[in-house]
Amino acid sequence: MGWEGGMLALGHEDMKNQVLTASGWLKIDWRDEFLVWNPADYGGIDELIVFQREVWLPDLFVENTAQNYVELGNDAMLISVTNDGSIIWEPGIVTETSCAVNIGKYPFDTQICDIRYLTWMHTNRTLSVGPEFEEINLDAQLPNGEWDITMTEARFYSYPSTYRLGWEHTGVTFVVHLRRKRTFYILNTIIPVVMLSLLNVLVFILPADCGERMALAVTVLLSFTVYLGIISDNMPKTSESLSLLAVYLTTLLAVSTLSVISAGLVLNIHHRDPRHPVPSSLKYLFDRSGHPSSWTRRSTLKKTFSNNSEASEFTSPPETGSLAPSGHSEHLKELQVVCETKVKVKENGEHDVQLRSMGGGGGGGGQRRRGGGHVPPECRRLMREPEIVRAPELTWHEIGKSLDSILFWIFFIITNTVTTIILLMFVGW
């Protein structure tokens, strides 16, 4: 008995229930020696078209059906019988078959589904079934909006008989290779998720005083939750394969949760009572780490010395940005190198500034000062305002800004790394 399969339309693949719906037709031919006649005895009739219920039909069924077992065709279908006993039967059929899906690369996935036809009671002792061609006829196929059929196969299939040992039931397996059309999912899932991941990072760019930082962080978190729920609704509840997209969304959901927690901690630090002293450990950390918060305070000290300074024959002092703002004595030491002064703080608050020649005495190695006791502008200001030597105190606001900068780069690197890895796995896995 020979088989040929043709597919008219691929209905859809229900990924959640792992069911493939397809419609098509089968061309089955065999020879029945009891239906042979001489056309000359019957007025030259060499072919009869009769209802299928009027002749013997093989007991065929769809083995991997996802619905009730039913016989092929129906009593209203016709069948062709020729005078030499050749019979051609072309029943139309709509199948719903089980198809184990692999959701690992969803929505960039490909699936392989099969439709298995097998004899019910006849074994190869009395009936042998096999394909006439090696692929499915797709000439009459209608296009499908979700899947492309990349390849088809027709294979011989057999199953050992359970009631007649040593014999087997024979049939045909039609294999369909499917590739999902990706444009819809890229525009409606992939791009929005990647954009949301960038918004997740921008939480730490918003000023802490704007009042919308936590609202943005929580909104992004809820958005990831919604997308993860949508993806989960379309996925089969199976652990045999794990969707990369679901893993990506779960990772971004975890990152978003951490960003909400981090944003809350930063806001708590930013709005902490200024009267509450900054612990010495934090002062040491942010002053010695070379973080931008210490650069800002050092540049403020530099501007304090340089603003409104008068012209002087002395060269400008080295950048005070190199001074450590944590110790008053270090600033005085550096100023003594520049100005060659000695500042003595008396108990009554007055200051006695003694100038020393840079070369020692009045020798030629030193630089002469015109006008007797000319004092450089920087040193005169030091005499008037000695408190400016002190470094500005580290505040909770500066710590909050520093943490914002650190967290921005941490979350930026994590988000981009995860996104890059997932996209590479989609392409190459």
Architecture per CATH, domain 3-180, reads as Distorted Sandwich (2.70)
Predicted confidence (pLDDT) at residue 407 exceeds the cutoff of 80: yes
Residues in CB range of 39: below 8 A, 6 or more apart: 45, 46, 83
Indicate if the pLDDT at residue 171 is higher than 50: yes
Band of residue 339 on the pLDDT scale cut at 50, 70, 90: low
Instruction: For residues 336-349, give the mean pLDDT.
Output: 43
Within 8 A by CB and 6+ apart from 371, the residues are none
The H or E element spanning position 60 is strand 60-62
Q: Is the pLDDT of residue 181 over 70?
A: yes
What integer best gives the mean pLDDT of the chain? 76
How do the domains of the chain map onto residue ranges? 3-180, 184-274+409-428
CA 133 to chain centre: 43
Lowest-confidence pick of 218-227, 308-317, 330-339: 308-317
- Contact yes or no for 259/217 (Cβ under 8 A): yes
Percentage of residues of the chain with pLDDT beyond 90: 22
Integer CA distances (angstroms), 360 to 171, 283, 366, in order: 112, 40, 6
- Residues in CB range of 113: below 8 A, 6 or more apart: 13, 20, 97, 99, 175, 176, 178
Class of domain 184-274+409-428: mainly alpha
Pairing state of beta strands 47-51 and 78-82?
Answer: antiparallel
Q: What is the pLDDT of residues 298-332, one digit of tens each?
A: 444 444 445 444 434 334 444 443 334 444 445 54
Tokens of 279: 């612990």
Give how far the C-alpha of residue 289 lies from the chain's centroid of Cα atoms, to the nearest Å: 34
- Count of other CB atoms within 10 angstroms of residue 379: 20
Q: Is the pLDDT of residue 281 over 80?
A: no
The upper half-sphere exposure of residue 142, i.e. CA atoms within 13 Å in the direction of its Cβ, equals: 9
Per residue in 231-264, pLDDT (tens digit) is: 888 787 777 778 888 889 999 999 999 999 988 8
